[in-house]
Chains A and B, each alone.
Chain A
Amino acid sequence: DVVMTQTPVSLPVSLGGQASISCRSSQSLVHSNGNTYLHWYLQKPGQSPQLLIYRVSNRFSGVPDRFSGSGSGTDFTLKISRVEPEDLGDYYCLQSTHFPYTFGAGTKLELK
């Protein structure tokens, strides 16, 4: 299975500040069709995961432009600018290039 190494485990931030989360895969996530299937989710307390970013850098419907994704190959980053209270929670990366799908271990974004 592809191992997704997500860092940091915990990320204290100030409201209005910026946060950066890293996700590295144990093998390239470039699919045979040329696309890279690396996605990001946010799970707020008491809620189900919500899709933020799909295929590295595409924001899902309704996701504010404070969220941005980047990266290629095995190294990916989610950045959150101007952090707001509703951004707090657990962030996960997910790869769906290789079977079986695998998730990162999660990053808890919390107030400093």
Chain B
Amino acid sequence: EVQLQESGPGLVKPSQSLSLTCSVTGYSITSNYWGWIRKFPGNKMEWMGYISYSGSTSYNPSLKSRISITRDTSKNQFFLQLNSVTTEDTATYYCARTTTVVTPFDYWGQGVMVTVSS
């Protein structure tokens, strides 16, 4: 069974970078698509982007200048970096898998709450 687990700091200062890791077990990240989604306080959800089986990426245009998703296939992990964070980036961040670019995310991590505060 596919399992995903997010990890990373729970507190980031404004203007700094947010960096999270998603560790995947039970499935190779060299197949399918692996994405990041966040849920804001107040419950709004936002798709942030994904990295494909080949390493290509696609990002939400609202984040395009600040976001980077990379991977380490040897560790079966993929990563989120979000630069120049503000308090509005405070959210719970989830990593998830989808099988194609149009199918829904079917397996999700438990999520990691990140607070942006000085």
Contacts and interface: CB of A to CB of B under 8 A. Distances in A.
Mutual binders A and B: yes
Interface of A: 31, 35, 37, 39, 41, 47-51, 54, 60, 90, 92, 94, 96-97, 99-103, 105-106
Interface in B66-97: 94
Interface of B: 43-47, 58, 60-62, 94, 98, 101-106, 108-111
Contacts of B44: 103, 105-106
B112 to A, nearest CB: 11
A99 B58 contact: yes
For the complex of A and B, list the 8 residue pairs with the smallest distance between their C-beta atoms, beginning with the closest. Answer: A39-B104, A101-B47, A48-B108, A103-B45, A100-B60, A106-B43, A37-B102, A96-B102
A106 B105 CA distance: 17
- Name the prevailing secondary structure of the B interface residues: loop
- Name the prevailing secondary structure of the A interface residues: loop
30 contacts: A35-B102, A37-B102, A37-B103, A39-B104, A41-B104, A47-B110, A48-B108, A48-B110, A48-B111, A49-B45, A50-B108, A51-B104, A51-B105, A51-B106, A54-B103, A54-B104, A54-B106, A90-B43, A92-B45, A94-B104, A96-B103, A100-B60, A100-B62, A101-B47, A103-B44, A103-B46, A103-B47, A106-B43, A106-B44, A106-B45
Contacts, number: 50
Contacts of A106: 43-45
A100 B94 CA distance: 17
Contacts of B98: 96
B94 A48 contact: yes
A100 B102 contact: no
Nearest to A61: B106
A37 B102 CA distance: 7
B55 to A, nearest CB: 19
A94 B46 CA distance: 10
B108 A60 contact: no
B106 to A, nearest CB: 5
Given A51-B104, A103-B47, 20 more contacts: A35-B102, A37-B103, A41-B104, A48-B94, A48-B109, A48-B111, A49-B45, A49-B108, A50-B108, A51-B106, A54-B104, A90-B43, A92-B45, A96-B103, A96-B104, A99-B58, A100-B60, A103-B44, A103-B46, A106-B45
